Amino acid sequence: MVTRAENERLTRVGPGTPMGDLLRRYWHPILFRSEIDKPDGPPVRVRILGEDLLAFRDTTGVVGLVDAYCPHRRAQLFFGRNEKCGIRCVYHGWKFDVNGNCVELPSEPASSGIMSRVKIKSYPVIEKAGLIWTYMGPPEHKPAPPDYEWTRTPDTHRFISKNHQASNFLQGLEGGLDTSHSTFLHDMDISGGSMIRSRDGAPKIEIFPRDYGYSYVSRRDLGADGEYVRVYQYIMPFTQFRGDNVGMTGQSNKVPKIDGHLWVPIDDHQTMSWNFMYGFDQNTPIPEDYSAWFEKLVGRAPEDYVPGTYALKRNLANDYLIDREVQRTKTSSGIEGINTQDIALQESMGPIVDRSQETLVTSDNAIIAMRKVLLKATYAIEQGQPAPGADPLTHRGVRAYDCIVPRGTNWQDAVADHVTARW
């Protein structure tokens, strides 16, 4: 059981908090490149780890991530002009480059010398896999850029989406690492069951500690058909990916792929979930019609979003448009969209759930293990130790997998050749 003090340590992400200090030792995605693709184009607001920031691409194409507020009178730089290698506050004309340096201060005489002393907070950024990433920690601890297998695939083999979630990041991460809930929450047809995982609601879970977090395996008994084995990877601090080669029975358009998420904290009470899929077969790309079909299945089709945002139309305010007749006759939840079902239950707990009130069981072992890893890491940072898994060399070579293993076959032998990255 997590104590209330430990729950605070695990969930508070602002500057100076134990978890906030830990999370700032890793690279985080903040934007799609397409959101900020034009030099001297409109700036974009970014809120991450409880900080309000502004992203802009300057005249030369370099992206900056700086404090959202002008240091003069704290006006929002979002309303500024992005021009000639800087963002200019339109209140008094103060202008800042991508590194936060003040490069023009027209409201003061040049002789004042103030400009040389004015600087706003800025964070380094990189562009990779169609995303903009930032590192917000101490410069001396900045790790090499992210190098997950999915970031190395060609664009034809990768699809990424994102959606807002009105809860703490840990609730999203816990849901992603919880394999047993899929039997019930995501049962698409309670009269028969169309998902492999619905055939055994009590999976056997084995956890294998790694220096980047852990890998774990869930095994489900399929009777005479053998055993469904699914290998998950948990990579510090909030990345999960899992095999999706088998999935649903009767699915005619199946593409061999791996799915995953990064639950990036916006602040203590909000999260941006980055969702990726990538084809692990180099000869099989992800077709556009397939990714569109999948996003519709999980509730992230274009029409599922509030226009102009990454918030979903189905939300807590309207009870996720739950259909009680559908729930009574067809599905367990009555909520449309696999991802929306997850969000509904995770947001229903409140912005930060009181974990001291939980009753944990053996099927929660992966969640228990993750919390221990995170708690241990927060203390390690306080003691001056490196952040586990921050170095991409610790995990760049791993991948997830799933398969059906015939009865009498050792599952470890069956997956051994499939859990090493090939890209």
Domains of the chain: 27-141 (2.102.10.10), 149-418 (3.90.380.10)
Least confident segment among 45-59, 242-256, 350-364: 242-256
Confidence of residue 191 (pLDDT cuts 50, 70, 90): very low
Cβ of 5: how many Cβ atoms within 10 Å?
Answer: 9
Compute, in degrees rounded to 10, the torsion defined by CA atoms 239, 245, 249, 253. 100
Distances (CA, A) of 57 to 77, 87, 235: 14, 9, 30
Distances (CA, A) of 365 to 202, 205, 372: 12, 7, 11
The pLDDT tens digits for 73-132 are 999 999 999 999 999 999 999 999 999 999 999 998 888 888 889 999 999 999 999 999
SS3 sequence of 14-45: CCCCHHHHHHCCCEEEEEEHHHHCCCCCCCEE
Give the DSSP H/E element, type plus range, for residue 244.
strand 239-244
Centroid of chain to Cα 417: 27
Contacting residues for 125 by C-beta, under 8 A, at least 6 apart: 30, 55, 63, 64, 65, 132, 133, 134
Contacting residues for 404 by C-beta, under 8 A, at least 6 apart: 196, 222, 225, 226, 227, 228, 229, 246
pLDDT of residue 193: 42
Tell me which residue of 282, 285, 259 sits closest to 176, measured CA to CA. Answer: 259
Find where tokens 């998420």 sit: 261
Distance CA 111, CA 75 (A): 25
State percent of the chain over pLDDT 70.
96
Find where tokens 């397409």 sit: 34
Asked if 373 and 208 count as a contact pair (C-beta separation under 8 A), the reply is no
Six token digits for residue 270: 């909000």
pTM of the predicted protein model? 0.95
Instruction: Give the mean pLDDT of 332-355.
Output: 96
Using the predicted structure, report yes or no on whether residue 249 has a pLDDT greater than 70.
no
The pLDDT tens digits for 377-421 are 999 999 999 999 999 999 999 999 999 999 999 999 999 999 999
Asked if 220 and 206 count as a contact pair (C-beta separation under 8 A), the reply is no
The pLDDT tens digits for 260-318 are 999 999 999 999 999 999 998 889 999 999 999 999 999 999 999 999 999 999 999 99
Average pLDDT of the chain? 94
Asked if 311 and 320 count as a contact pair (C-beta separation under 8 A), the reply is no
